[in-house]
Amino acid sequence: MQKIIPCLWFDGKVEEAINFYTSLFKNSKIKNVSRYGEGAPQPAGTILVATFELGGQEFMILNGGPMFKLTEAISLSVSCETQEEIDFYWEKLSSNGGQESQCGWLKDKFGLSWQIVPTALSKLLQATDRKKANNVMAALMQMQKLDIAKLEQAYNQ
């Protein structure tokens, strides 16, 4: 059992969100769902709280209402081995009202922030040759969706 479970506060669209998220990542599933009853602050039958797994990582989602908003202060980072993975997650998560940002960050249509990052990035940034690492950082700062080939090209300059 996972000891620490991140809880995401949403204002509606919880069912749509967990169905969307679990459809994107392998080894994902909806585990438990509790719904609001009659006389609750949300319509009866809508999800109050649910637990789900994305890639084996457990999350909780709370349909808590408008008091709190999702911000970039928390993001989910997706480690990608290939450019095809980066392209897939970038396209799926930023579509239908999502917002692309800088340096591999985006917000999905629900307002949740994501970082879509190649696994090779940490190696490139931790180069003992500081010029190489600086070149990678300079290239990274010019990108929205990260491009592995361009990051490697910057490293090899």
Listed by start position, the domains of the chain span 7-63, 75-155
Q: List pLDDT tens digits, range 97-149.
A: 999 999 999 999 999 999 999 999 999 999 899 999 999 999 999 999 999 99
* Residue 18 to residues 50, 88, 112, Cα–Cα distance (Å): 9, 18, 12
CATH class for domain 75-155? alpha beta
Tell me the angle at which helices 83-94 and 14-24 cross, rounded to the nearest 10 degrees: 170
Residue pair 6/60 in contact (Cβ under 8 Å)? The answer is yes
pTM, rounded to two decimals:
0.94
In tens, the pLDDT along 11-35 reads: 999 999 999 999 999 999 999 999 9
Question: According to the model, what pLDDT value does residue 1 have?
Answer: 79
Do residues 29 and 22 make contact, with C-beta atoms less than 8 angstroms apart?
Answer: yes
Chain segment 38-85, per-residue pLDDT in tens: 999 899 999 999 999 999 999 999 999 999 999 999 999 999 999 999
List the beta strands (DSSP E) in 21-153: 29-35, 47-54, 57-63, 75-80, 99-100, 105-107, 113-118
Among 2.60.40.420, 3.30.720.100, 3.10.450.50, 2.40.50.100, what is the CATH number of 7-63? Answer: 3.30.720.100
CA distance linking residue 58 with residue 63, whole number of Å: 17
Cα 68 from Cα 82, distance rounded (Å): 35
What is the distance between the alpha carbons of residues 32 and 51, in angstroms, rounded to a whole number?
Answer: 5
Please indicate whether the domains covering 7-63 and 75-155 agree at the CATH topology level.
no
pLDDT of residue 79: 97
